[in-house]
């Protein structure tokens, strides 16, 4: 097994047990000791929750506080969350995606990736707790949160739970990227792969990715202003107000023009356009009524973006596209000034919102990100990234060996449709990566309509549709 010269030891502790109606959850922490660290004894705690249909015979030992309970012949599906830097939402009801997967006969493993959810949190205090003070040491530590390490964690947990048996992967967004890293490194551990909005842009430069991202975000802006033409003037007036006044968010961040434009990240989700319009309307009226936005509105804007609470999302956003000597060089920031992107820069006629992009200004504007400013510059200049994908292996995996099926969204703001199709043609074995393609859903289609998305993927696996 290839673990990039990193040796692991593993044990577990049971954190929580939850039973409600038809579902049974066990939340388990795994201690993964990493001898590759310069600090002896440093380890990660990775937390998973296993969700199963409740069955009295299987769970007769429910009161034991140390035993991982699984059926005799488990059929595990590992859910890899989007991000980077977000934990899983653990189900408490027999509904939605959980119900569909359980009814299909799976036991669901929700893994909070390194630094997320219930796993050991990554924030600036992480460096302080481990006495990691220099930028070089911090940088080396942060490299351990990349997809290659995430899949190593998952593989060790798989072995611990089911030994030599295989499991299924379900990856949403960045979790889909992780699925392809997993295929590259541990294909013998995988039964089948389901991906929703997450085919990685293998073989494309960071600039090529963000060139497409700007195009998709421009389309979302045009749709927004077509739906709410009154907001053309209002957004310009709001941005002019922010240009002339120092406005702080409740946690001490700067609400600048660029930060306000970042609300466009919401375009990529169901109802995002209406959400932005609601904020614009509220902000505009408050400035007209009392010459400043209310605390409630500032709080809403602060909570609409997750960069303060999920710092890995900002730090590693461009790094997830880097390998083979690439350096992002602040790609999104540079391409903002490319020809055709003029409306993403402040002007007095029409201003576009931005999207899933990281800018230099964020490390001044967001109160938590300020602590990482120097480290962020190191990250965006770095070139010696590990390889995340084994193209030769991906080209060799057939549908009969490990079927790969994917939900691909034609209007996806975050994962470009055209790049996805080119990756399929260039780097996946012919006949594998069978797709459910739709223009009815956005990037979060799995959450919006799990019946349609998962139902279509299961049909692809069964060969019912092409």
Catalytic residue numbers read: 173, 412, 443
CA distance 383 to 385: 6
Determine contact, residues 23/94, Cβ cutoff 8 Å.
yes
Cα angle 399-402-403, degrees, rounded to a multiple of 5: 50
CA distance 82 to 48: 15
Determine contact, residues 7/36, Cβ cutoff 8 Å.
yes
Tokens 């770095």 locate to: 382
Task: List phi, psi (to 5°) of 111.
Answer: -105, 120
Cα angle 192-197-200, degrees, rounded to a multiple of 5: 80
Tokens 């230099």 locate to: 360
Query: Bridge partners of 435?
Result: 406
Half-sphere exposure of 195 (CA within 13 A, CB side): 30
Residue-wise DSSP of 214-238: HHHHHHHHHHHHHH-TTHHHHHHHH
Closest CA to 184 of 425, 387, 393: 393
CA distance 381 to 165: 41
Residue 264, both tokens: 């466009």
End-to-end CA distance of the chain: 34
Under DSSP, the state recorded for 3 is: -
Count of CB atoms situated within 10 Å of the CB of 38: 9
State how far Cα 409 lies from the chain centre.
16
- List Cβ neighbours of 351 (8 Å cut-off, separation of 6 or more): 235, 236, 239, 257, 261, 343, 344
Determine contact, residues 238/283, Cβ cutoff 8 Å.
yes
CA-CA-CA-CA torsion sign (208, 210, 213, 218): negative
Residue 334, both tokens: 């540079």
């Amino acid at each position: 097994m290839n673990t990039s010269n990193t040796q692991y030891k593993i044990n577990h502790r049971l954190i929580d047990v939850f039973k409600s109606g038809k579902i049974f959850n066990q939340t388990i922490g795994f201690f993964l000791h990493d001898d590759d660290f310069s600090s002896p004894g440093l380890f990660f705690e990775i937390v998973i929750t296993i969700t199963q249909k409740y069955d009295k015979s299987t769970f007769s030992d429910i009161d034991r506080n140390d035993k991982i309970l699984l059926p005799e012949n488990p059929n595990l599906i590992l859910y890899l969350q989007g991000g980077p830097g977000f934990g899983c939402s653990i189900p408490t009801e027999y509904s939605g995606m959980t119900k569909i997967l359980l009814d299909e006969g799976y036991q669901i493993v929700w893994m909070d990736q390194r630094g997320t959810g219930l796993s050991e949190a990554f924030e600036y205090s992480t460096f302080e707790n481990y006495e990691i003070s220099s930028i070089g040491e911090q940088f080396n530590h942060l490299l351990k949160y990349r997809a290659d390490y995430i899949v190593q964690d998952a593989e060790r947990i798989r072995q611990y739970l089911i030994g030599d048996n295989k499991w299924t992967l379900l990856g949403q967004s960045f979790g889909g990227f992780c699925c392809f890293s997993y295929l590259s490194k541990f294909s013998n551990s995988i039964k089948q792969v389901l991906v929703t909005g997450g085919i990685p842009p293998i073989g494309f430069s960071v600039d090529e990715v963000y060139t497409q991202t700007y195009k998709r975000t421009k389309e979302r802006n045009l749709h927004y202003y077509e739906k709410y033409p009154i907001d053309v003037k209002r957004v310009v007036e709001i941005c002019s107000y922010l240009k002339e006044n120092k406005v702080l968010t409740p946690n001490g961040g700067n609400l600048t023009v660029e930060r306000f434009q970042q609300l466009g990240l919401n375009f990529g989700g169901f109802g995002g356009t209406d959400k932005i319009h609601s904020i614009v309307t509220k902000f505009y009226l408050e400035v007209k009524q009392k010459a400043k936005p209310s605390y409630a509105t500032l709080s809403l804007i602060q909570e609409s973006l997750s960069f303060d609470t999920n710092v890995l999302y900002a730090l590693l956003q461009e790094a997830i596209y880097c390998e083979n000597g690439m350096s992002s060089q602040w790609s999104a920031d540079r391409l903002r000034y490319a020809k055709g992107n003029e409306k993403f820069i402040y002007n007095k006629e029409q201003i576009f919102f931005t999207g899933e992009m990281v800018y230099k200004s964020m490390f001044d504007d967001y109160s938590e990100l300020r602590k990482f400013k120097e480290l962020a510059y190191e990250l965006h200049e770095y070139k010696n990234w590990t390889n995340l994908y084994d193209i030769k292996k991906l080209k060799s995996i057939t549908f009969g060996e490990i079927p790969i099926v994917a939900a691909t969204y034609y209007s996806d703001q975050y994962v470009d449709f055209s790049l996805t199709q080119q990756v399929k043609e260039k780097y996946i074995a012919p006949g594998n990566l069978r797709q459910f393609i739709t223009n009815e859903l956005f990037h979060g289609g799995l959450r919006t309509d799990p019946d349609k998305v998962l139902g279509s993927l299961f049909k692809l696996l069964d060969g019912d549709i092409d």
